[in-house]
Chain A
Amino acid sequence: MIEAWVAAIACAAPGLPDWPTARRVLRGELPYEPVELPRYQPRLLPPNERRRAPPAVRQAFRVAEALFENAPLAARDCATVFASSDGDTGITQRISIGLATPARTVSPTDFHNTVHNAAAGYWSIAADARLASTALSAWDASFAAGLLEAAAFVTVEGQPTLLVAYDVAVPEPLHAKRPIDTSAGVALLLTPEPSRGTLARLGIEAVASARPSTLADARLEALRRGNPAARALPLLEAVARERPTAVELAEAEACSLRVEVQPA
């Protein structure tokens, strides 16, 4: 079992605009109303980059910046794991559409923004974060795979690690092939030891397969299934409820995890 401590959390999804609100919704203290989030302007990006930041970068920054408003560590002192199933499909599609024309135009900015680690790269520049950074995908299991990677990093390297999971709405015509309707993001700061303000202890185990934990509220469950980053919701609910419990983050094809959550 891999142990890691949750020092801070952030999230952003329709109806869950921040962790304090999400925490109350997940505790059943507030009804869940899926209201779309407004477009986000990353604060840490310089003005030009802020203006031109693509949707996936905005979504990653929305939760990473929120997390560090209330975290015991500075962003530059954390390694990072960025987990996204599909990255920025708007850019991938724009490039493919351009390549399908006789001129085969590709914007150079689009091209370097299409790498799966674009958000990770922009974050490292904005936060002057020079430690290790990774970007990964495991389709619907991207959050679980990111959590495993981040927890392994914390345990083996002994370094605090920021996990950012994010996925954005997929535009047509690709949407029919990958129906993600809304954007969602979750950020966790994991540390190798508990400290003042630690929210929970996680005990993480890779398991052969499992039925995923679900949410009782039908619309929250729809959110969980509708965006790969929202697959984190059962874990967020466990932390919000402050009772020892175990959740299954299970997607048969890549990475099933059993996570014991112990409130701090």
Chain B
Amino acid sequence: MQPLGISAFTLTSALGRGCAAHLDALLAGRSGLRPCAFDGCALPTWTGTVEGLDIPLSGQLSEWDCRNNRLAEAGLSQDGFTNAVARARKRYGATRIATCIATSTSGVEQGERAYRERGASGPLPDWFNHRTTQNVYSVGGYVRARLGLAGPCAVISTACSSSAKVFASAARLIATGCVDAAVVGGVDSLCLTTLYGFNALQLLDARICRPADESRAGLSLGEAAGFALLERSEADAGELLGYGESSDAWHMSAPQPEGRGAAAAMRDALARAGRGASDVDHVHLHGTATRANDVIEDKAVRAVFGAGIACSSTKGWTGHTLGAAGIVSAALSLLCLRHGVLPRSLNTGRVDPEISAHVLLQTRRTAVRRVMTNAFGFGGSNCSLLLGAAP
């Protein structure tokens, strides 16, 4: 494929609001994870929380009010992103810009509140609006309305691969000529469903998550909102060089043991970019810190790149943001490409002897040209992106 321009991007997570806060935290090695203080959660676990989401959405868009859409709003409000979209809207027209947003949680937290208030029986409270909050599409509807866009819009929800897949979907829409640009992104927020759900699957670590570490014991969940503006020939913020997608066809909540699907997605991304393994400077791992993911992803990375490739996960900084994990990895990678950073694998002490790819334990400053990001989700959904620095 022809490289697709990324003209703007932004990220909000436990590390703070906006790109500067994230670069700062990466360089300082400062994690955003804290012991979980989420209201109603009694589990021993660490989480990456975005502060200050107590203020309801107001005005014309108030019907969309829920934690997830407040987080979307917080995310959109950084780094001049809405101005970048307004410029694109002026240039192409509102109908010529697609909106492709990802989520796994959407506003389910609002539903949790509604059922708590309802109690053991009876109807749900009058104030609960399922369409604009809990329903999967809610975050897409919100972003489209908020940005004044009128092109095609869909929410992709494929668990933890979601906000990498939106890049592929948007690239295809642009390639068909039915739109000229796309706002892509992902928003997932903390809620009891994911905290207690992952706990039921015994996938949460009671301690801070330690990707690739020999003593790693599972996830620290996080929340985040990230967005990028894709346009054919405006590449001030970077380029999408390639994308790859595959399905494990193995198990709903465990990865295929040889990393077959993961390797296929990475190879597909390289092939679509017309690049070889040696053109890639860093693999930004999915690296969730579960026992299974990290060792299986390592097999796949070695199969595609060999053992020497520099790689690391940033989940130790932000936590696993699920439906937003793809955009978090993409945005952090774009920052690293722009500023010449190879980030270490935060919280990793001793690398698991079973992991033999070159996991970075120190953050390095050096020119970075191309980064591969991985995002692998429940249901065996895999998506890898090859990102390049602004030309």
How far is B193's CA from A104's CA once the two chains are assembled, in angstroms?
9
A-B residue pairs, 10 tightest by C-beta: A121-B379, A116-B157, A111-B197, A132-B245, A145-B154, A137-B136, A177-B130, A124-B247, A96-B115, A108-B200
User: Are A124 and B249 in contact (CB-based, < 8 A)?
Assistant: yes
Determine whether the beta carbon of A117 is less than 8 Å from that of B248: no
| B379:A120 contact, CB within 8 angstroms | yes
Given known pairs A130-B261, A132-B247, A137-B155, the reply for A87 and B136 (CB within 8 Å) is yes
| A-chain residues with CB within 8 Å of residue B201 when the two chains form the complex | 108, 111-112
B38 CB within 8 Å of chain A = no
Interface range for A: 35 or more
Partner of B379, one of A100, A115, A136: A115
Give B139-182 interface residues, CB cut-off 8 Å to A: 140-141, 144, 150-159, 165, 168-169, 171-173, 175-176, 178-179
Given A137-B154, A254-B141, are A206 and B179 also a contact pair (CB < 8 Å)? yes
- The answer on a CB contact under 8 Å between B156 and A134 is yes
List the one stretch of A18-26, A35-43, A146-154, A191-199 in contact with chain B.
A146-154
**In the complex, A227 has a CB within 8 A of chain B:** no
| Interface residue ranges of A124-150 to B (CB < 8 Å) | 124-125, 127-139, 142, 145-146, 148-149
Q: How far is the CA of A110 from the CA of B165 in the complex (A)?
A: 24
| CB–CB A156/B175 < 8 A | yes
Q: In this assembly, does A86 line the interface, its C-beta being within 8 Å of a C-beta of chain B? A: yes
Expressed in whole angstroms, the minimum distance between the Cβ of B379 and any Cβ of chain A is 2
A208 contacts B by Cβ under 8 Å: yes
Q: Any chain B CB within 8 A of the CB of A157?
A: yes
Closest to B246 in A: A130
Decide if A176 is an interface residue (CB 8 Å cutoff): yes
Given A99-B196, A117-B377, A205-B178, verify A137-B135 contact (CB < 8 Å): yes
The minimal Cβ–Cβ distance linking B355 to chain A, given in whole angstroms, is 25
On chain A, the residues within 8 Å of B112 by CB distance are 96, 99-100
Q: Can you identify 21 A-B contacts, CB atoms within 8 angstroms?
A: A92-B108, A93-B115, A96-B108, A96-B115, A99-B116, A100-B118, A104-B42, A106-B196, A106-B197, A106-B200, A108-B200, A117-B157, A124-B247, A125-B249, A131-B245, A134-B156, A135-B158, A152-B175, A152-B176, A178-B135, A206-B151
Q: Which of B65-73, B119-127, B313-321 contacts A (4 or more CB under 8 A)?
A: B119-127
A155 within 8 A of B: yes
- What B residues does A100 contact at CB under 8 A? 112, 115-116, 118-119
* Contact among A118, A146, A155 for B176, CB-based, below 8 A: A155
Decide: B158 and A116 in contact? CB cutoff 8 A: yes
Contact of A96 among B111, B151, B252 (CB under 8 A): B111
| Nearest A-chain residue to B265, judged by Cβ | A132
